[in-house]
Structure 1
Amino acid sequence: MNREMNGFDTENHQEEKIDYVFKVVVIGDSAVGKTQILSRFAKNEFCLDSKSTIGVEFQTRTVTIKGKVIKAQIWDTAGQERYRAVTSAYYRGALGAMLVYDITKRPTFDHVARWVEELRAHADSSIVIMLIGNKADLVDLRAVPTEDAVEFAEDQGLFFSETSALNGDNVDSAFFRVLEEIYGVISKKALESGGKSNGGDHATALTGSKIDVISGADLEISEMKKLSACSC
């Protein structure tokens, strides 16, 4: 897959300074393909024997947006009900959310409203939310019309995309859109607070906002326990 699109150069960042770290959570019911979407975006991989995620794990990918080097830290939260109390704590500090359902399973779409409600309750009010209908390659098994999802997204003020983690369709573009929107929110709030829009070596303090933007050097992940469900 081409890793350069719409001006987002994602290669050769090893020697570059990270301007921002954006935390994005991937949520939704179990078995909708959250881990596969994350793997496709972060590593351009698809694991055929992927197992259910236990707890929380994350992967990263570094991109350039409007001249700023941004590390996207994507957290994969387990969708099973028994983990909901655990994963709710991980909404804290999230600047974006990928809310995933399976286009072949209507109940996963019917539960989207509940996930949005949970996001509104636990995440910052400025969080950027992308509704994703995954498994779009299974056209013959479609159970959720695109029109239903578009109507819901418009009603809730969400971005929307249909993706296929299997072949990679629209996965990059969905993540890039969220990251670009996050950058726009951060820049606007920084300007409104009289601050600067670059990350520098320190956290960017946004007056009147719960959003925290931290540099790579300040990133704290000691509370996160990574349990890999797929080694491919």
Structure 2
Amino acid sequence: MLEQDVDITLKVIVVGNGQVGKTSMITRFAKGIFTNEYKKTIGVDFLEKRMFLKDVGEEVTYLLWDTAGQEEYDAITRAYYKGAGACILAFSTTDRDSFDAIESWYKKVHDECGNLVMVLVQNKVDLLDEAVVEAKEVETPKPRVQSVSSG
């Protein structure tokens, strides 16, 4: 059997309240560009990033699905959760409500996708002088969130 190049693609959904920096974060990752002059995401946006991973000797294509954080788009964005292999739960260090909503976002993704790899990202850490979320809160997950395995 001949060895064939296999295209490895990972769909990553990025969720969290509106205005927490989801679009800024994935645009910086995918395009290397940062600006704080983004417009509100309506529904879902999509970016792609290809990276060669030395440790495994493979190129991986990340399909980054940037979902709107506003409730009025919930029915639209949840349809895009299907097929996700990973999830980024994002909140802003300057927005208490966005941190308090993380458990709800976790539940929405888990209900739609089951167990998948999820990471918690604290955005806007350059604004620590305006922080409304303490580091110890972020570093100590609530027991309910820990109880669901990501395997």
**TM class, shorter-length:** 0.7 to 0.9
Q: How does 1:39-118 map to 2 (within 5 A)?
A: 39-65=27-53, 66-118=56-108
Letter in 2 for 1:62: R
Secondary structure at the aligned position of 2:118 is classed as: strand
Contact 1:29 1:101 in 2 (8 A): yes
Change (3 A) 1:138 1:18: farther
Distance 1:155 1:90 in 2: 25
Distance 1:34 1:80 in 2: 12
Specify every segment of 5 or more residues in structure 1 that has no aligned partner in the other structure, as ranges: 1-16, 159-181, 186-232
> What's 1:124 paired with?
114
Give the count of matched residue pairs.
143
Q: Note the alpha carbon deviations across 1:41-90, whole angstroms, 9 max, x for none.
A: 00011123211001111111111231111100000000011001111111
Q: CA deviation at 1:18?
A: 5.6
> Paired residue for 2:13, among 25, 49, 62?
25
Contact 2:103 2:145 in 1 (8 A): no
The percent identity for this pair of structures is 35
> Paired residue for 2:124, among 127, 131, 135?
135
Contact 1:101 1:112 in 2 (8 A): yes
Change (3 A) 1:33 1:19: same
Letter in 2 for 1:94: A
Change (3 A) 1:63 1:154: farther
Q: CA deviation at 1:150?
A: 1.4
Across the aligned residues of Structure 1 and Structure 2, the Cα RMSD in angstroms comes to: 1.9
Letter in 1 for 2:128: V
Q: Structure 2-normalised TM-score?
A: 0.88
Letter in 2 for 1:85: A
Change (3 A) 1:153 1:128: farther
Contact 1:103 1:143 in 2 (8 A): yes
Specify every segment of 5 or more residues in structure 2 that has no aligned partner in the other structure, as ranges: none
Letter in 1 for 2:11: K
Distance 2:49 2:6 in 1: 11
Q: Structure 1-normalised TM-score?
A: 0.58
Q: CA deviation at 1:156?
A: 2.5
**After TM superposition, where is structure 1 displaced by more than 6 Å over at least 4 residues in a row?**
none
Change (3 A) 1:56 1:24: same
